[in-house]
Structure 1
Amino acid sequence: MTKCVLMPLLIILLLCSAVFTVKADDAALRILNNQLQLLALLPEGQEFAEDLRSMSRGDLNLQLELREGIEQDIAYFWKRHGVPLTFNTLPPDADSLSRALALEPQGDDYLATSSRIRYLIWLAERHQWPRLDPGGWLSPGDSHLLIPTIARRLYWLGDLGETPGNDKLYSPQLVSAVEAFQSRHGLKTDAIIGPDTLRWLNTEPLQRARMLAGNFVARTVYKQQLGKRYLLVNIPAFELTLVDDNQVQLRSRVIVGKPYRQTPLLSSEITNIVLNPTWTVPRGILRRDLLPQIRKDGEYLQQRHFNVYDYQGNKVEESAEAWQKEASGRFPYRLVQQPGADNALGRYKFHFSNGFNVYLHDTPDKHLFAKANRALSSGCIRVDKVEELASWMANNLVRDKRSWQRMQSDYQTTQWFAFEQRLPVHLVYWTAWIDEWERTQFRSDIYQLSPGVKVATQAQMRLDTEWANKPEPRSGGEAHLLGP
């Protein structure tokens, strides 16, 4: 009697176990497939694209046979790029689902990025994306044949919440959607569909997916070097982020270098903050920017509080007419702008050693931060919330806090303040990501570096040891650095 009862129970348990195994295997294959879709979009993702094709051609049994090789391909990819996986610490008898999950890179944005990439691939497969050319600018209240197509694209991309109809009027509902779209692409949120907005509307879903995939891998690789405290500037986003104890302390708009005077990609450490800095004008900026001003107006030097020195260090004084004449020739002088309201570096300069002679600083031209495209400097980085950044550094890093407090009312004396601890600084170039609200963000490739900027710019990831080992500047000195 007992055997009669036990045998059916055993069969049921075996059947349940088999069903569970099949479901676990099926889930594992879906997880692997999701990651393969992301990795296949990379410039070096040919092997993953082939894995995807192989998986799609076979039944479940063939897919299970291919699984082990695919697992090894994915594990080797992340190992090659220095990203640790829990896969490498799994026991040999780990089940398929555990192995697939352990192959996913650790990060808050992986699942959201993977999901968005799958949606964009789906969108590319099911909808045509012909190039739109309205023949001019479109403003709220306009009527145009392309308005319904624009509305559908905004709906597909998640900026328009309701299913669009065939209304050819640029309605208030569409205005809100266009402004959301412009915000996600770093554009001026004016609801005017001009060349920049149209260019992003014409960006195909598969191209967007490739941007997300490449930038996700680059960010994931780069984040391996970030500690609990650092300052990061994303150049094409024109944004600075200060992190302490893994928490964001400050976000600020920044101005970066023009396309022909690019801010470099690098990692270093901020060692000093300079209060009331002087500015020694680099020869290139002198020739391109200042000499034309002096030729127009000989009073320019005095008005902008420049001292002029010969190459022996002697101060030189001439009349306005004489300076105009000198500016038309070889001009064998060095210009040093004194501290003050119109100093090009503003009130603060944040110094970090690097082979490019760039730094972060304040600026008197605050109105420029309102621009959407802020690639406007000569290579250095101008910080909008500079007072907040300086205050945080004074409270957390500055060694001589008493002197710092004493000099807050002094706007003329230049003073270097050393830090108790160096602050890592990273200048990076990321053009697509999922933000903390799971919104997809895209930015223009202002320096035309993509797809050259891929997986991880190794030069970015390593501190330049030659510069890092140099002694810190002495308090009171002023380095001859690249202009702002």
Structure 2
Amino acid sequence: MGIDGSINVEHSLADQPATVGGVSDSALGNLDELQRFYALRGQRPVWTNMARVDALVAALESLSGDGLMPSDYHPRQLAIEGQQALASRQGSTALRAFESKATSTLLTAMAHLQRGKVDPHQIDNGWEVDIAPPSFDLVTMSLELDEGDVEAVIELARPDFEPYRQLRSALAEYQSIEQQGGWPLLSARDEPLRPGDRDHDVAMLRQRLGMEGGDGVIAADTGYYPQVSLDAPDAEIYDPQLVEAVRRFQRHHLLADDGVVGPDTRLALNVSVSQRIDQIRVNMERVRWLLHGLPDSFVLVDIAGYQLTYFRPDGQVWRSRIVVGQPYRRTPTLRSEITYLTLNPTWTVPPTIYREDILPKVRNNPGYLASRGLYPLTPSGQRLDPHAVDWSNPGGVMLRQGAGPGNPLGRLVIRFPNDHLVYLHDTPSRHLFDRAQRALSSGCIRVEGVTQLAQMLFDDSGTSASVSRLLADGKTRNISLERHIPVVLNYWTVQPETDGSLAFRPDIYHRDTDVVAALDRPLVL
């Protein structure tokens, strides 16, 4: 800091020790961004009094409300160092070093808040979505800091999406429940609770649901659950009002909404509030990764929620149930663009299904192919006699099934470029859409009502075609879209509903644990 109070960032960084509160100074903000910030300010310092330092400390500590770890940014140590630096003489090394440390820490926290603390590529080998670098309004940031309003600066980085605001509000509510000691857990038992039963667990069930709705603090004004009276005339009778509350709970947790508290419902009820807090934190991080830069119109595949949503250019929203990959054949996370559709498709058996599912059956039963309408092909597409193939070592032989009602792809496929060879498609097994949990495919996404979706894609992309007419003649054909439509496949284990409540989904691919661990890992780079 010069005699005039200006600061040279490069010199100030050089004055810093190797680490700041255990965090290497390479982790404390981007030097270029830091230089641009101080150049814009004419090298004027920010942290010139303890009021501003205290505001910085408070803003960093408030990040627990965003699911981040305030300890990553060492706010208490910053307060001590700030007090010591401000007590030193003007232009001292300590004052220069603290100035750049404080601003670098703020920029790092803002980067994590805007784009996420965790790099998803490091915890998910199948992650294909590029994460854009953080971008800040440095002019507004400088003006707000001159006013001492650090919280307003933090707000500049906070994701401006309604789902994020809903998750953040819910996180505060669940943190409040945790501070109250959490909710009661039902006893471990094999016998289900059925409507009309009298049982001590029924009274516990009333308390449990009352903590997360009705008379409790979560979404009490939105009707997340019906009012659950804790002083019912006979609290141990499983009455119709409580049955309806349980059914709503089951629907919000992708369980069969039969009102019976069986093993799956009991397991969901006995998830602790701290586990639900972590689940919310994980999905706030996913919002920070994903929702930036999305167009107004796109197709969103919610893998864990078994739902596809098409946000149309005219503002309409179309939703449908889907079937996704089994846990050992996961549907990937990716962003791409829908480029063309295949009508009356043939099905070329994917390598994994060919190798692991079909080939063992062919070796045991040579008639298996004919029974499934499959036929072998050379790599160039020439049809082969199945009895002439050495199935113990088939080499480059491919298997294909012709178009028709028994084809696993149904009558239509919606295609988009990706390294995993997944796509949206029809299915002859439409009964699967009636299941509450639908991780049943080999990785691709089966869509209920896919012909309706296809027609909307044609209409909205300027492609003049009638899906029903083209399907009617049974011919296999590809139809390119005149304008490509973005598609996003993502994994949400918590979904804010339109009424403000939360829907919790099973972590079918066991992805949440790695994200929680990475969020909780102390920041050391």
User: Is the CA contact 1:215–1:454 (under 8 Å) kept in the aligned structure 2?
Assistant: no
Aligned residue runs from structure 1 range 450-469, under 5 A: 450-453=512-515
Per-residue CA distance 1:300-330 (angstroms, 9 max, x = gap)? 5344332333456442346xxx69x976x44
For the pair 1:268 / 2:358, whether they are aligned, the reply is no
Aligned residue runs from structure 1 range 21-420, under 5 A: 32=59, 35-39=62-66, 41-42=67-68, 45-47=70-72, 74-78=109-113, 81=116, 82=133, 89-90=140-141, 91-92=143-144, 93-94=146-147, 96=149, 98-99=152-153, 102=156, 104-129=158-183, 131-132=185-186, 133-158=188-213, 159-165=225-231, 167-245=235-313, 247-291=315-359, 300-310=368-378, 313-317=381-385, 329-330=392-393, 333-397=397-461, 399=463, 401-402=464-465, 406-411=469-474, 413-420=475-482
**What is the Cα deviation at residue 218 of structure 1?**
1.7
From the superposition, tell whether residues 83 and 239 of structure 1 become closer, same or farther in structure 2 (CA, over 3 Å). Answer: farther
State which drifts further: 158-167 or 286-295: 286-295
**What is the Cα deviation at residue 130 of structure 1?**
5.4
Which amino acid letter does the alignment assign opposite residue 106 of structure 1? D
**What is the Cα deviation at residue 256 of structure 1?**
0.8
**Partner secondary structure for residue 310 of structure 2:** strand
CA distance in 2, matches of 1:75, 1:360: 37
Per-residue CA distance 1:92-149 (angstroms, 9 max, x = gap)? 5446375565454322234433332222112112135454313322222222221111
User: Is the CA contact 1:121–1:209 (under 8 Å) kept in the aligned structure 2?
Assistant: yes
Which residue of the other structure, out of 510, 513, 521, is the alignment partner of 1:448? 510
**What is the Cα deviation at residue 378 of structure 1?**
0.6
From the superposition, tell whether residues 87 and 212 of structure 1 become closer, same or farther in structure 2 (CA, over 3 Å). Answer: farther
Per-residue CA distance 1:134-187 (angstroms, 9 max, x = gap)? 332222222222111111111111124132236222211111111111111122
User: Is the CA contact 1:363–1:382 (under 8 Å) kept in the aligned structure 2?
Assistant: yes
CA distance in 2, matches of 1:398, 1:378: 32
**Equivalent residues, number:** 414
**Partner secondary structure for residue 109 of structure 1:** helix
CA distance in 2, matches of 1:383, 1:211: 27
**What is the Cα deviation at residue 80 of structure 1?**
5.8
CA distance in 2, matches of 1:52, 1:227: 42
CA distance in 2, matches of 1:445, 1:49: 32
Which amino acid letter does the alignment assign opposite residue 204 of structure 2? T
Which amino acid letter does the alignment assign opposite residue 354 of structure 1? N
User: Is the CA contact 2:60–2:70 (under 8 Å) kept in the aligned structure 1?
Assistant: no
For the pair 1:423 / 2:485, whether they are aligned, the reply is yes
From the superposition, tell whether residues 302 and 110 of structure 1 become closer, same or farther in structure 2 (CA, over 3 Å). Answer: closer
- Point out where structure 1 has 5 or more consecutive residues left out of the alignment: 1-24, 56-67, 458-484
**What is the Cα deviation at residue 72 of structure 1?**
5.6
From the superposition, tell whether residues 224 and 103 of structure 1 become closer, same or farther in structure 2 (CA, over 3 Å). Answer: closer
**Partner secondary structure for residue 227 of structure 1:** coil
**What is the Cα deviation at residue 440 of structure 1?**
1.0
User: Is the CA contact 2:185–2:208 (under 8 Å) kept in the aligned structure 1?
Assistant: no
Which amino acid letter does the alignment assign opposite residue 259 of structure 1? P
**Partner secondary structure for residue 316 of structure 1:** coil
Which amino acid letter does the alignment assign opposite residue 437 of structure 2? N
**What is the Cα deviation at residue 429 of structure 1?**
1.2
Per-residue CA distance 1:239-272 (angstroms, 9 max, x = gap)? 1111133835311111111111111111111111
Per-residue CA distance 1:46-81 (angstroms, 9 max, x = gap)? 3368669989xxxxxxxxxxxx87866643433564
Q: What is residue 9 of structure 1 aligned with on the other side?
A: none
**Partner secondary structure for residue 178 of structure 1:** helix
* TM-score for the superposition, normalised by structure 1: 0.74
- Point out where structure 2 has 5 or more consecutive residues left out of the alignment: 1-51, 81-101, 117-132, 214-224, 520-525
User: Is the CA contact 1:36–1:52 (under 8 Å) kept in the aligned structure 2?
Assistant: no
**What is the Cα deviation at residue 87 of structure 1?**
7.8
CA distance in 2, matches of 1:246, 1:50: 47
User: Is the CA contact 2:347–2:400 (under 8 Å) kept in the aligned structure 1?
Assistant: yes
CA distance in 2, matches of 1:402, 1:103: 44
User: Is the CA contact 2:305–2:493 (under 8 Å) kept in the aligned structure 1?
Assistant: yes
